[in-house]
A and B are shown apart, each in its own frame.
Chain A
Amino acid sequence: MTNAAITTATPMARATRLSLFGWFAFVFLIASQAIAIAISPPDRDMGDLQKIMYVHVPAAWMAMLSPLAVLFFGIRYLWKRREEDDLLAASSAEVATTFAGLTLVLGMIWGRPTWGVWWTWDPRLTSTLVLFLILAGYLALRAFVDEREQRAQWSAAVGVLGAINVPIVYMSVRWWRTIHQIQSSPSTVDPAYVIGLRLNAFAFLFVMIYFIRRRYLAALLERSAEHVAEAAALGGGVGRE
């Protein structure tokens, strides 16, 4: 009883502060979207279809940023062996998977009317897909390993190697494609769209931080529940009192 109270007290306090940040992030996101859509003129070629840029491009940026968090927390775990770093890396990986998936889906929705196809083997598309698959492997590893320390060390190793691989994949795929066909150059962005894009980049950044923190908090709660359950199973602590 007392055990449980102590272990949950800190996360609960943090959760309240966090939900304030969460509200801020989502209000900021809605405001940024509204501003971006309101101030940008319809695109010459794509018309209002261009507006999907304000969710697709920031999502893609976050899909590149969050694996760096996996790399950072993975290295810090291997260095300092603190369980918190492992949980943070895992939370970042889940959020990274979400953003990579979101990027792919939004890109397809955008690609279908503009390019006429759902998918092309463009270097960016292909390497985002491979990134998504690497992250899926990372999460599968975590799901299939039960021993806590083993899971932490292994996923740190897989996370670090996976993050190293992302630029390498991009490079190799890019080279593979340019040999076969000349890639169309990405259109330069008009200043009218830049403000909206920047605002939404920050909005997505806040949302990403909120998601990672939220997921981390949940992981902490899960862990303390595990500790309590273990103590009870061993016949001490909560169960017997």
Chain B
Amino acid sequence: MITMRDDWRRARAIAWKDLTAERRSKAGFNAVISLAVTILVMFGFALGPDAEAIRNAAAGAIWLAVLFSGVLAFNRSYQIELDGGALEQLILYPGSRRAIFAGKLMANFVFVVLMLVIVVTVGVVLFQVQIPGAWPSLIAILLLGVVGLVTLGTFYAAMASRSRAREVLLPLLLFPMLVPVLLAAMEATRALLGGNAMGDAGAWARLLAAFDLIFLVASFLVFESVIEV
């Protein structure tokens, strides 16, 4: 029981360290946010000037913008460690390596949620989305989607960031794996933005929660063997 609590403290310390480093430099966050907004604008161009078409595609465009820019954030969270030669140190500390994963996961979660706040705000304006009455459910679904995205992103970045060609490898590994999470998140978001006439949103949200749980458990189980070499 005590070791569990110690690991939790370690995880929090790692998350806090990552977030502090990010807050003090701000360079990473600003760049990633700018990219996300740029992607949204590009989607606007691709979808054309038709307001109806743009509104229908809003859910997908917002999620893809978060995905594309999130990939940079995931690699960065390990890249900073690697540049300072700090990852070996981190691994050598006593305690479970899963604490490292949990810490990185929490830091990335906060990072992506902050990013999402801005992306959704910009998306709502650019794509002329009407905010539905069930906005608390919408927030819940966005958070569930971020959990899935960040879990797999943090897991695969642990490998991709230490390989050659990391820019290519992470999206190549991550995007196909994220298909179920993204589908569920996009469909639930779309259903809610469209007034949830069919009552699909709840079912998609439950499915999304189940995917999150499966991927969280699986990546926690396998992470030890990913980080130790």
Contact = CB atoms under 8 A, between A and B. Distances in A.
Interface stretch (B5-13, B74-82, B137-145, B165-173): B165-173
Contacts of A175: 207
B184 A161 contact: no
Interface residues of B, number: 34
Given A153-B226, A161-B155, 7 more contacts: A78-B222, A136-B172, A137-B177, A141-B173, A153-B228, A161-B177, A179-B198
A103 to B, nearest CB: 16
Interface residues of A, number: 33
Nearest to A138: B173
Interface string B138-159: 0000000000000000011001
A77 to B, nearest CB: 9
Contact of A149 (B175, B187, B198, B229): B229
Specify the main secondary structure of chain A where it touches its partner.
helix
16 contacts: A133-B172, A134-B177, A137-B177, A140-B169, A141-B159, A141-B169, A144-B165, A145-B159, A146-B164, A157-B159, A157-B223, A161-B215, A165-B176, A165-B180, A169-B176, A179-B198
A154 interface: yes
Nearest to B155: A161
Contact of A161 (B169, B175, B179, B219): B219
Interface string A63-86: 000000000000000100000000
B218 interface: yes
Contacts of A154: 159, 226, 229
A164 B215 CA distance: 9
B176 to A, nearest CB: 4
A137 B223 CA distance: 18
A130 interface: yes
A156 interface: yes
A34 B87 CA distance: 60
A171 interface: yes
B225 interface: yes
B180 A158 contact: no
B218 A164 contact: yes
Q: Is the interface of B mostly helix, strand, loop or mixed?
A: helix
Interface in B182-229: 183-184, 187, 198, 200, 207, 211, 214-215, 218-219, 222-223, 225-226, 228-229
B180 A157 contact: no
B121 interface: no
Contact of B180 (A78, A153, A171): A171
A120 interface: no
A157 B226 contact: yes
Contact of A158 (B159, B183, B200, B229): B159
Interface string A117-143: 000000000000010011011101100
Contacts of B163: 141, 144-145
B229 A153 contact: yes
A232 interface: no
Contacts of A149: 229
A162 interface: yes
Contacts of A137: 169, 172-173, 176-177
Contacts of B179: 130, 169, 172-173
Contacts of A23: none
A22 B159 CA distance: 37
B28 to A, nearest CB: 24
A181 to B, nearest CB: 14
B2 to A, nearest CB: 28
B158 to A, nearest CB: 9
Nearest to A179: B200
Contacts of A172: 179-180, 183-184, 207, 211
